[in-house]
Amino acid sequence: MSFLPNHEYSSITRFVKLGDQKRALVSRLLQYALVHQVLEIPFDEIIIRRTPEGKPYLVCDDMKLAFPNFNFNASHHGDFVAIASEPICLVGLDIVSHSVPKNETAHEFIQNFSSYFSSSEWYHIMHAGSSDEMLHIFYRYWCLKEAFVKAMGTGVGYKLDDVEFHHTNWNNIFVKVAGKELKDWKFWLLDLGQNHSVCIARGHPRTATTSYRTTLKRIEFDDKEYYNGFHLPNASFTFRTVEDLLQVIHGADRVPFDISTKCDVSEDEGSEGARFVQQ
C-alpha cells in the first residue's frame, strides 16, 4: 500500500474480507500505473478521485491532445482485476466470475434477477438448456449491463429491463434502450480463464451521467473525430503479475501501453502471490 497516496488507504481497508482488500489494492495500483504509462504523469502528481456514484476519474488540467478525453474504468471479481482506458469515448469494464450458487439451484438463483432483464434476454437465458448454460448466459448479460452502466457512471441505478442487448453468438453486440438502438455504443465480451467473463463497453461521452460528465474534458466531438475514437481497434488483454505492475510503478521496466489498453490481474484469494493480466 505504500505505493499509493495516503488518501487511498481507507478505500482499501474499508473492505472486510482480505480478498476484497487485495482486489481493491491491485485495482488502485493498476489505475495509477495506467495513468503513469499512458499520460506520463509522475506518480506523485497523479490525482484520482471518485464521483458521488463511486466512479474513479483522473484530475488533470493538462490533458495530452492525443487523448482528449482520457478516461478509464476498472473492475474486479473472482480471480481477476482489470482496467481499460479510452482516449475519446467513454469506457466501461466489468468482470463477472461465473460462480455456481450455493444455497439454491441455478434456476432459483437466476429468478431473483428477472426484473433486470428484457423479455428477449430472459427468453434466451431460460431456454439455454442446462443449468450451466443458463448461468453462463445470465452472467454474460449481467456483465454487459454492468459495463454499460459503469461506462456512464450511473452506478447501479438504472432501469435495466429497458436495456436490451443483442448479439450474434456474443459478437457484434449492440444495445437497445427503450426499444431504440444506441448506434454510438459498442460492446465486446470475452472469456477470461475458465469461468470468468469480461465486457468492455465503449460509448459516446454525452451519455455520461451528469456528475461524470463534469470530469470529462470534452463532451462533443465532430463526426470524424468521434468516428476515429469509436472505431479504434479493441486491444486484447495482456496478463501481468503484480510484481510486473510494481516494477512498472518503480519505472524499472517500461512496457508500452496501447492507448486502448487493458490489464488483468489474476489472484488467488488465499495466497500471497498474484498474477495479473494486462492487454
Partner 1 sequence: MASITTSSVSFHVPCSLKQNQVSNLKKVSLSFSGTSFPSLRLQPSRFRVACAAKPETVEKVCEIVRKQLALPADSAVSGESKFASLGADSLDTVEIVMGLEEEFGISVEEESAQTITTVQEAADMIENLKAKKA
For partner 1, which is the closer residue by CB, 36 or 145? 145
Neighbours of 34 (CB within 10 A): 25
Distance CA 228, CA 63 (A): 18
256: cell is 508500452
- Out of 40, 59, 62, 157, the residue judged to bind partner 1 by CB under 8 A: 157
Beta bridge partners of 192: 196
- Compute the least distance from the CB of residue 49 to partner 1, in Å: 14
Residues in contact with partner 1, total (CB under 8 A)?
Answer: 26
Site for partner 1 in 19-38 (CB under 8 A): 19-20
The reply on whether position 16 binds partner 1 by CB under 8 A is yes
The reply on whether position 142 binds partner 1 by CB under 8 A is yes
Report helix, strand or coil for 112.
Answer: coil
For partner 1, which is the closer residue by CB, 43 or 116? 116
93: cell is 469494464
Site for partner 1 in 59-118 (CB under 8 A): 77, 96, 102, 112-113, 115-116
For partner 1, which is the closer residue by CB, 97 or 234? 97
The reply on whether position 211 binds partner 1 by CB under 8 A is yes
Site for partner 1 in 35-64 (CB under 8 A): 52-54
The reply on whether position 156 binds partner 1 by CB under 8 A is yes
Task: Return residues touching partner 1 (CB under 8 A).
Answer: 14-17, 19-20, 52-54, 77, 96, 102, 112-113, 115-116, 142, 146, 155-161, 211
